[in-house]
Amino acid sequence: MENHRSRLAALSNQVRHLLDNCALFAQPCLLCAGDGGPDGICAACRADLATLPAAHCPICADAGPTGLPCPHCRRRRPAFDTLNAPFVYAWPLSALIHAFKYGHRLDMAHALRALFARHAPEGPARPDLVVPVPLFAARLAERGFNQSLELARAFAVRMAAPLDDTLCVRVRNTPPQARLERAARTRNVADVFVVERAVTGLSVAIVDDVATSGATLDALAAALKKQGARRVDAWVLARVFYSKT
């Protein structure tokens, strides 16, 4: 009897321990402050986020009502093979990403990683390597973390592919892309990335938080292809969508 009672006590301790751990992982939803569940953003808020419209350019994922390559990609094909994004860069996701990056809200990393891992589209190929878009060293020091690396970690787990955050280096800083016109964006990032080793024959996935014109991803993809990458596909959490409708 004594034995039975002590076994029960031990069991209830284990259950309590489990429940305590679950409570540690559950956090209020970042958007509605309700129960965020283990992902930190509740299912209802996730369902409200603006997903990428089905009709989009199959290369750069920008607006294209027919699903055919957009005028920019027809004029000059980017170095990446495809750009993939689950969401449009729109409120409230835009506000979350902004707070995460510029408000030093590393506590949001878990929720954004979970969101990305859960909703990243399948994409055309399983990558051999997952590479985050690197930050310039001084900017990394100022921000304390690379938001792209945080997302790339989750993506690598989802794809069961190795992550390499030392392969690519950003060799100079660039003015924020958001303030520049499209042509200036392309010039702004030319030769900004160095790929340190050959990646001959590999399929590489590059990961960033947001794509605006795609110029940054284009520049990194070009540097990877110069080092022998067979294909480069880009994944971002949100894409700025220039809808013409």
Chain positions contacting Zn ion, by CB under 5 A: 29, 31-32, 42, 45, 57, 59-60, 62, 70, 73
For 10, residues 6+ apart whose C-beta sits below 8 A from its C-beta are none
- The smaller minimum CB distance to Zn ion, of residues 62 and 233, is found at 62
CA distance 215 to 189: 7
CA distance 97 to 77: 28
The whole-angstrom distance between residue 207's C-alpha and the CA centroid of its chain comes to 5
Lookup: tokens for 191: 């030769």
Q: How far is the CB of 224 from Zn ion (least distance, A)?
A: 19
- The smaller minimum CB distance to Zn ion, of residues 13 and 243, is found at 243
Lookup: tokens for 34: 């309700």
Q: How far apart are the two ends of the chain, measured CA to CA in Å?
A: 75
- The smaller minimum CB distance to Zn ion, of residues 73 and 156, is found at 73
Alpha helices (runs of H) in 121-214, residue ranges in sequence order: 137-143, 147-159, 182-188
Q: How far is the CB of 226 from Zn ion (least distance, A)?
A: 22
- The smaller minimum CB distance to Zn ion, of residues 114 and 149, is found at 114
Provide the residue type at 162 as one letter.
P
Q: How far is the CB of 41 from Zn ion (least distance, A)?
A: 6
- The smaller minimum CB distance to Zn ion, of residues 45 and 224, is found at 45
Q: Which residues are bridge partners to 170 per DSSP? A: 193
Q: How far is the CB of 215 from Zn ion (least distance, A)?
A: 12
Q: How far is the CB of 70 from Zn ion (least distance, A)?
A: 3
- The smaller minimum CB distance to Zn ion, of residues 32 and 194, is found at 32
37-60 burial: b if 16+ Cβ within 10 Å, else e: eebbbbeebbeebeebeeebbebb
Q: How far is the CB of 76 from Zn ion (least distance, A)?
A: 10
Lookup: tokens for 54: 């089905």
